[in-house]
Chain A
Amino acid sequence: MVPRDMDAANQDADLLAQFAQGDRLAAQTLTDRLAPRIVRFAARMLGDRAEAEDVTQDTMLRLWRIAPEWQDTGVPPAAWLFRVAANLCTDRLRRRRSGPAEMPDLPDDTPGVDAQMMQSKRAAALQSALAALPERQRQAVILRHLEGLSNPDIAAIMMIGVEAVESLTARGKRNLTALLSGQKEILGYEDEH
């Protein structure tokens, strides 16, 4: 289950049912509960804010459209949304491969930056390293370590077994470590601890 407890999943399902009955307040609540997670996930998958917003809007639109026919199949709305968003991101990444590659900007190495700048540099460095990961590893790492989902939740979203999720996240983290190891001094985190 993607939500941390059944209550959250049931609340989402109830809100979706209310929306299907024409309750627009339910749409607002659902948007506030779910859309921020989708936009974060898509932004990290794609490394592009504008594309992430398009994916989020498209994902939510599909939720609105399916609402009248929504049935409890054991997949909560949040998991369903992540699955749709992942597929939309995959489509965009495939199209992108046929064109010029878009990589996130690497952080510059300007010395003397403050803590806020350091955070930004680290975040940008991680985004750059994530972009270099195989897509499935990237997805698993983002969901596990940035969105904080459990392995069973991720397994439901990616439609694979829990062991496969563990394998993907472990390999993803190893690759990230290798990619970021050369930037420790540039990012200066050693000086901070």
Chain B
Amino acid sequence: MNTDKHQNTGIEPLDVFFDAARAQAPELSQDLRARILADADSAVSVASAPVPQNPTLRQRVGVWLNGWAAPSLAGGLTAAVAGFWFGVVTPMPVAALDAPLWLQDALGYFDAISTPLVGLDDPLLWGF
């Protein structure tokens, strides 16, 4: 009888448990399979993503402009305009001291602009 064989050999009864465990083995669920394949898709996508190529000259200029160059140029232009404007509206005494005599009339033209803005009277008109 098998029972006797099991009891005598001692180790053989384990086969009964092994057989039962193999028969009850967990299977790969469809949900897990789908998750695994989704991971595979992601891995393929990452691996096959296009490698960045050397940018063209136009792209490089675009990047350069969109980086630090455009703001810098804009700032420089603003500073230039502001400097020009302050030069135009400079109080006449300073300009008058530095200007040669033949320019005095020309500077008088700007005086019409600078005077109301600066709020000072033209020293030339004071008789200097």
Contact = CB atoms under 8 A, between A and B. Distances in A.
Interface stretch (B41-49, B89-97, B110-118): B41-49
Interface in A117-137: 118-123, 125-127, 129
A28 interface: yes
A40 B36 contact: no
B56 to A, nearest CB: 28
Interface residues of B, number: 33
- Going nearest first, the 3 A-B pairs with the smallest beta carbon separation are A193-B2, A122-B20, A64-B43
Given A22-B48, A180-B13, A35 B1 contact: no
A contact patch SS:
helix
Interface of B: 1-3, 6, 10-11, 13-14, 16-18, 20-29, 32-33, 35-37, 39-41, 43-44, 47-48
B2 to A, nearest CB: 3
Contacts of A190: 3, 6
30 contacts: A20-B47, A22-B44, A22-B47, A24-B37, A24-B44, A27-B41, A27-B44, A35-B32, A36-B27, A39-B26, A40-B25, A43-B26, A53-B32, A118-B20, A119-B20, A119-B23, A120-B24, A122-B17, A122-B20, A123-B23, A126-B20, A126-B21, A146-B21, A174-B11, A177-B11, A180-B17, A184-B13, A189-B16, A190-B6, A193-B6
A19 B40 contact: yes
Interface in A88-128: 118-123, 125-127
A31 B36 CA distance: 7
